[in-house]
Amino acid sequence: MTDHTKPDYVTLEFPEPPEDRPYVIVNMVMSVDGRVVVEGNEQGLGSKVDQRLMRELRVHADIVMNGAGTLRAGGTSSRLGHADLDAVRSARGATGNPIAAVISGSGDLPLDRAFFTAEDFHAVVFAGAGMSAERRAALEATPREVIDLPAQDSVRWMLRHMRREMDARLLLVEGGPHLNGELFDAGAVDEYFTSLGPVVVGGRPTLTAVMGTHAPSLDATTQLDLVSAVPNPATGEVYLRYRRRGRSR
């Protein structure tokens, strides 16, 4: 029987990627007052259904990416974590979990976390040009590949590298807000998925889903078209999928 309280992200199809970067989708969970962090991370904002949807999107990904802030806050991985999702992925000819990626300028990363130690997924670190030799050497000493970014236009360079050198057709970005902001500023986000959780965080300002350094302006907004909105009365969540306006299917 079809479950109308949950979208089926496993069966989604995505357009062909551009030649110079992967097709980029971003996925976040947020409170109804627009916050994506409570007490330092996103714990408490999403239900088990949201967690499942996050993993369903990973089925499609060649690379699952986070910013260093998210890795520091709670750890990151690219695991599907469900046998049925592993089966779908391998039936499509993809071997194992997607590649996990993190981007860091400082190199200040928790090297004891699964991102660095796990053997059930590959992972790469995109390292900013200003990283100290000591930090870079510590990353090199892990089993992970370190890919040096140029000082200028690093995000576009990284996307090009993913497409051309890593053969990545779909990049799933799972935050955090500052990495999301750079990708939106680069005009490189094709779709935006968000789960809206029935909670008000309130309090002093905390991160919202897309952050940057410039003053917000109408000229810098990104217009989106709503693709789907699925309410779930059981969890109180709404699962939203948007596509960047002007991007054809």
Q: What residues make contact with ligand NAP under the rule CB under 6 A? A: 28-30, 36-37, 40-42, 45, 66-70, 73-74, 103-106, 108, 128, 149, 154-155, 174-179, 182, 207, 211
User: Taking the complex as a whole, how short is the minimal distance between the CB of residue 58 and ligand NAP, in angstroms?
Assistant: 14
Strands 123-127, 191-197: pairing kind: unpaired
Q: Which is nearer to ligand NAP, 41 or 94 (CB)?
A: 41
Q: Which is nearer to ligand NAP, 35 or 89 (CB)?
A: 35
Distance separating alpha carbons of residues 55 and 35, to the nearest angstrom: 21
Q: Which is nearer to ligand NAP, 29 or 168 (CB)?
A: 29
| Sheet architecture: strand order including 224-232 | 145-148, 123-127, 99-104, 63-67, 170-173, 23-31, 191-197, 237-244, 224-232
User: Taking the complex as a whole, how short is the minimal distance between the CB of residue 173 and ligand NAP, in angstroms?
Assistant: 9
- SS3 sequence, 20-84? CCCEEEEEEEEECCCCCCECCECCCCCCHHHHHHHHHHHCCCCEEEEEHHHHHHHCCCCCCCCHH
User: Taking the complex as a whole, how short is the minimal distance between the CB of residue 164 and ligand NAP, in angstroms?
Assistant: 18
Indicate the residue type of 14: F
User: Taking the complex as a whole, how short is the minimal distance between the CB of residue 151 and ligand NAP, in angstroms?
Assistant: 10
Q: Which is nearer to ligand NAP, 84 or 153 (CB)?
A: 153
User: Taking the complex as a whole, how short is the minimal distance between the CB of residue 97 and ligand NAP, in angstroms?
Assistant: 18
Q: Which is nearer to ligand NAP, 87 or 229 (CB)?
A: 229
The two three-digit tokens of residue 174, written as one number: 């799972």
The CA distances from residue 74 to 88, 89, 166, 195, in Å, are 28, 26, 26, 19
Distance separating alpha carbons of residues 60 and 72, to the nearest angstrom: 25
User: Taking the complex as a whole, how short is the minimal distance between the CB of residue 94 and ligand NAP, in angstroms?
Assistant: 24
Residue with tokens 């997607």: 98
User: Taking the complex as a whole, how short is the minimal distance between the CB of residue 129 and ligand NAP, in angstroms?
Assistant: 8
Q: Which is nearer to ligand NAP, 37 or 240 (CB)?
A: 37
Indicate the residue type of 195: S
- For 32, residues 6+ apart whose C-beta sits below 8 A from its C-beta are 196, 197, 198, 199, 200
Q: Which is nearer to ligand NAP, 1 or 151 (CB)?
A: 151
If we measure between CA atoms, which residue out of 26, 57, 24, 29 comes closest to residue 208? 29
